[in-house]
Amino acid sequence: MTYSGKWIHIDLSSGHSKTGTADIGLYDRYVGGKGVGFALLDSLAPKPEPLGIDNPLIFVNGPFTGTQVQTSARTCLVTCSPLTRNILDSHCGGHFGPRLRAAGFDYVLITGKADHPVTIQLSPQGAEIQDASSLWGKGIFETTDTLLSAHPGRNPRVACIGPAGEKLLKIACIGVDKYRQYGRGGAGAVMGSKNLKALVVDGDLQIEYADPNAFKELNRALTHDIARNESVLFRRDKGTMKCVRSGQEFEFLPTRNFQLCRFDEFEGISSETCRRELNWEDTGCFNCAIQCSKIARWDGHEVEGPEYETAAFLGSGCGISDCRDLALANELCDDWGIDTISAGVTCSFAMECYEKGLLKDWEGLKLEWGNADAQRKLLRLMVQRKGVGKIFADGTREAAQWIGQGSEDFAVNIHGMELSGVNPKGSLTMGFVLSVADFASHTRLWCTEAEMGPEFRIEDIPTVVADGLDEINTRNCLIICDFVPYGFDRLAPLLNAATGSSHTPKSLLQIGTRLTHLARRYNLNNGRTHEDDILPERFFKEPSLSGFMRGRILDKTFFRSLIQKYYRHRDWNAQGIPSPEVLRSFGLSS
Ligand code: SF4
């Protein structure tokens, strides 16, 4: 089977590590990835202090990570988010996950805190902790290059933090293979709180398949179909940046801090302009024929991207229309180790505060819409926690608490997490997804009314979203890339051939539902209430601009009634608390 069946736990406080044999029952119940990570976090740290020693970092692979399955690069990180104090799963591609698998581990648990900066070197021989004092303060690019050049292995891979993680910014990310990220929710700050600068993995262990012949045949057919799928070919050509144009056309493109759904100058940051101006080269993660990633090279700079989310928040969100400015901000964020989505939303929030004159002293920053130079200066100050940057360093919620004066209404976060994906003024359905998901991320479920078909009705939102969230949960357990356009009818047999399990599409979906209940219970125990399942006030005070609510102001009572319908569908009470019966039916305690 493709699982190695082994884990390693590294305690940075003592400097000791131990390995063990994985509980196969855990894989039966949760498959891998997000599911196994959530179950581990729930049992090991049900109520941790996010930046305390008891909050583990759990790097966890899925059953396909490192295998011959297309998009098998994907790997998952689970921890308790300092941004939301809720459960966090963050996913990334690149080559790190496959290398972790080749080192022989399904998951790595890191707890405690080193008394000085360290790196962990992980290989089939185990973990070695090394001094990293000379790397502290360095950016992700230099750190990665330094560690790779010093590593004796054949194909090492690096996950590390930059200055943002060291300074514990709650929007700090972990950089992987330089240009990939465990981006959302402040995982970089958790790593920084442990004085852990980097995790380096290497190995060359082979993966075995439960039924190699069946696997080969199923995988060959899937690969064949992916390679010829029209949506895949389009995605390879345009990248995720295709959504800039569709966001403009369908009117959901976050613009000027979610005030607008269209950006007059969107062509400047469109996929087509980026390909031309940034000399894009198609590239991809480990074993991926889709190749949605793009290497940008311009004026002596090089970065992978920009991705759509980066464009939507550091670009149109801030009124910035030059793709070189966008790519430069992208490069700085990747190097300093700050999530481009939260950073972009926070910059756009700052620009609106500037427009409204909510701070007496901006220390010379002219944060007008479209001022890319001022945006870069603000990002630098945030990462350094200096001057006005201190106010914005931990995202919009904390900034609005500091600034007050009604700024909470347009600090666009849900329970601390900056919104991603689309502007809810352009898609009620997406606003609903972001409100009820375990955290407000575009990776939970991507849907706009237009994409749900002409028969789709407002009253369908709660049940359709519930099913969609569960399905994506399971995909995040398999850790198949969002961009594989096939469902469980193809993936269940492949999983069974790979691991020897006997899943059906239905049993896989049940795992996603179990995970929804588990995450809900965890989050309620960690401070979330039903009052938090709501969009920021902006969306109830200003007219929606497209979708179901075009031209109308979304009524909060109506929105709450949809949420109540969602709770009932889940068998949660009016406070959004899962009933003991439903928890028991999924094998979870109350
Ligand atoms: S589709 Fe894109 S993000 Fe997904 S694995 Fe391939 S290159 Fe990576």
What is the CA(72)–ligand 1 centre distance, in A? 9
E strands, 162-316, are: 174-176, 180-182, 196-201, 281-283, 293-298, 301-304
pLDDT, one tens digit per residue, over 181-240 is 999 999 999 999 999 999 999 999 999 999 999 999 999 999 999 999 998 899 999 999
Q: Would you say domain 418-484+504-585 falls under CATH 3.30.360.10?
A: no
How many percent of the chain have pLDDT more than 70?
A: 100
- Write out pLDDT tens, residues 512-545: 999 999 999 999 999 999 999 999 999 999 999 9
* Closest ligand 1 atom number to CA of residue 235: 1
Mutational test site, ligand 1, from 288, 304, 480, max ligand atoms within 8 Å of CB: 288
- If you measure from the C-alpha of residue 175 to the centroid of ligand 1, how many angstroms do you get, rounded to a whole number? 16
Domain ranges within the chain, ordered by starting residue: 6-201, 230-404, 418-484+504-585
- Ligand 1 test: best mutation among 71, 231, 307, most atoms within 8 Å of CB? 71
In the predicted model, is pLDDT for residue 469 greater than 80? Answer: yes
* CB-count exposure of residue 373 (10 Å: 0-12, 13-18, 19+): exposed
Residue 555's pLDDT is what?
97
Domain 230-404 identical in fold to domain 418-484+504-585? no
Task: Please work out whether the CB of residue 292 comes within 6 Å of at least one atom of ligand 1.
Answer: yes
| CB of 56 closer than 6 angstroms to any ligand 1 atom | no
Q: How far is the CA of 71 from the centre of ligand 1 (A)?
A: 6
| Position in ligand 1 atom list of the atom nearest CA 293 | 7
- Pick the residue whose CA is nearest to atom 2 on ligand 1: 292
| pTM listed for this prediction | 0.96
293 lines ligand 1 (CB under 6 A): yes
Asked whether the beta carbons of 65 and 97 are under 8 A apart, the reply is yes
What pLDDT digit, counting tens, does each position of 98-152 carry? 999 999 999 999 999 999 999 999 999 999 999 999 999 999 999 999 999 999 8
Q: Which residues contact 543 (CB under 8 A, 6 or more apart)?
A: 425, 549, 551, 552, 553
d(CA 320, CA 313): 9
Tokens standing for residue 259: 């005030």
Count of C-beta atoms within a 10 Å radius of residue 270: 20
Instruction: For residue 453, name the pLDDT band (cuts at 50, 70, 90).
Output: confident
Does the beta carbon of 288 lie inside 6 Å of ligand 1? yes
Domain 6-201 has CATH 3.60.9.10: yes
230-404 to CATH, choices 3.20.20.70, 1.10.569.10, 1.10.3720.10, 3.40.50.970: 1.10.569.10
What are the phi and psi torsion angles at 128 (to 5°)? -125, 130
* Measured CA angle at 371 (ends 367, 375), to 5 deg: 65
Measuring from atom 7 of ligand 1, which residue has the nearest CA?
A: 284
Confidence band for 335, pLDDT divided at 50, 70 and 90: very high
The preferred substitution site among 68, 177, 290, 478 for testing ligand 1, maximizing ligand atoms within 8 Å of CB, is 290
